Structure 1
Amino acid sequence: MPRIFAMDCEMVVSGNRSILARVTIVDETGRVVLDEYVKPTATITDFRSCYSGIKKHHLENGKDFSVVRNKVENLINGCILVGHSLQFDLEALNLSHLECKIRDLAKYEAFNRNNGGQPVALKTLAKDYLGRIIQNGEHDSSEDAKACMDLYRKYPNNW
């Protein structure tokens, strides 16, 4: 049976693009197995702190992007990867993952059925399916990754 991890990333803005600021990965039990802040790879023009929870001091001691990217790549290699809108996280990490091993809650038909087929926000999924309030103010990649794993574990056979 393949390992299962849930991942969430927080981004900041550099010019007109998002860049990685933090990545968190949790295992099947919700235990954090990786939580890293990332040194900016470009000049930050907006920390988006009210959404990302990222502030300048978080990134001052961040790890180099390549180090974090390699840690993530080694950890998720061959596993089932759970998340919400994972394409953005993988793009920020400059990684790919086998489509057959991705469990993207934003694309899960059962969650989107009552929303005209459009993705439902993770915050809404957590509230509706877990009875949990998340993203009440700043986002926290650890909290979001745990919510993703819990949602997946609640419906593991429907994928």
Structure 2
Amino acid sequence: MGADDNTAGKGALKFSNRPVEIDETKTAIGKYVSLDCEFVGVGYEGKRSVLARVSIVNFYGAVVLDEFVRPEEKVTDWRTWVSGIRPSDMQNAKSFKEVQFKVGEILKDRVLVGHAVSNDLKVLLIAHPKRLIRDTSKHPAFRKLSKGRAPSLKKLAKEYLDIDIQGDEHSSVEDARACILLFRKFKDDFEKLAQAKGGKGFLKRGQGAKEKILIPAIGEA
């Protein structure tokens, strides 16, 4: 353990004692990006989720992409209380295809950080190599907080970063930043776990009429 490392005192986690803070001056995309999405409801009683906002931040938390997405179906529940999305946000919203393409270009060959990020990828209809995914909902030490279940991002942010998120409405930028801060704090643990798994391949294709973008891993055809 180096001079800049310490023991978190929570499970077997180790963390860097360097401050993990947002630095919006460092705008280069870099190797690591964190993604989060917000959804609205369509169909009967708004029970079916569709994409309404996508945010991506870089390793330092600077915003790389933040786009509202225009649903192709009539929205029956804006879920503003949790999504933060309002009808007025759709005035300059982009089409699903346009945003999907932008996200795919950013994610290509990069390490993707997120919380239950498979849900976001499924709605985006994008596949990403498993070995390039770092999911804060799946880290074994984090799951101990919820007795083996996936912990909420809100709980992790409070427990390990001492910050409060999702106080009222959700913000995909705020959530993406919380994920990247968690990853940075425990980066060595995440990377060792990923190396031990040695996983390759893609997440399974989701169901949907739209074509899913396949993003090959580095060196994979």
Range into which the TM-score falls when normalised by the shorter chain: over 0.9
Aligned to 2:33: 5
Is 1:14 aligned to 2:45, yes or no? Answer: no
Could you list the runs of 5+ residues in structure 2 that have no partner in the other structure?
Answer: 1-29, 191-221
Instruction: Name the structure with the higher helix share.
Output: 1
The normalised TM-score by structure 1 is 0.97
Larger gyration radius, structure 1 or structure 2 = 2
Deviation per CA, 1:115-139, whole angstroms, max 9, x where unpaired?
2210110011101100000000000
CA distance in 1, matches of 2:75, 2:187: 39
More moved, 76-85 vs 105-114: 105-114
Deviation per CA, 1:45-67, whole angstroms, max 9, x where unpaired?
11100000000110232001100
Aligned residue runs from structure 1 range 26-105, under 5 A: 26-105=57-136
The aligned amino acid for 1:156 is K
The aligned amino acid for 2:123 is A
Aligned to 1:144: 175
Q: Residue 107 of structure 1: SS of its match in structure 2?
A: coil
Is 1:114 aligned to 2:145, yes or no? Answer: yes
Deviation per CA, 1:68-110, whole angstroms, max 9, x where unpaired?
0000000001111001010111011110111111111111111
Q: Residue 75 of structure 2: SS of its match in structure 1?
A: coil
Is 1:25 aligned to 2:56, yes or no? Answer: yes
The normalised TM-score by structure 2 is 0.70
**Percent sequence identity over matched residues?**
43
Note the aligned Cα RMSD (angstroms).
Answer: 1.0
Could you list the runs of 5+ residues in structure 1 that have no partner in the other structure?
Answer: none
The aligned amino acid for 1:104 is D
CA distance in 2, matches of 1:148, 1:114: 16
Q: Residue 81 of structure 2: SS of its match in structure 1?
A: helix
CA distance in 2, matches of 1:41, 1:79: 29
Deviation at 1:155, TM superposition (A): 0.3
Deviation at 1:113, TM superposition (A): 1.7
Aligned to 2:6: none
The aligned amino acid for 2:188 is N
Q: Stretches of 4+ moved more than 3 A in 1?
A: none
State whether residues 145 and 151 of structure 2, in contact with CA within 8 Å, keep that contact through their aligned partners in structure 1.
no
Deviation at 1:32, TM superposition (A): 0.2
Q: Residue 138 of structure 1: SS of its match in structure 2?
A: coil
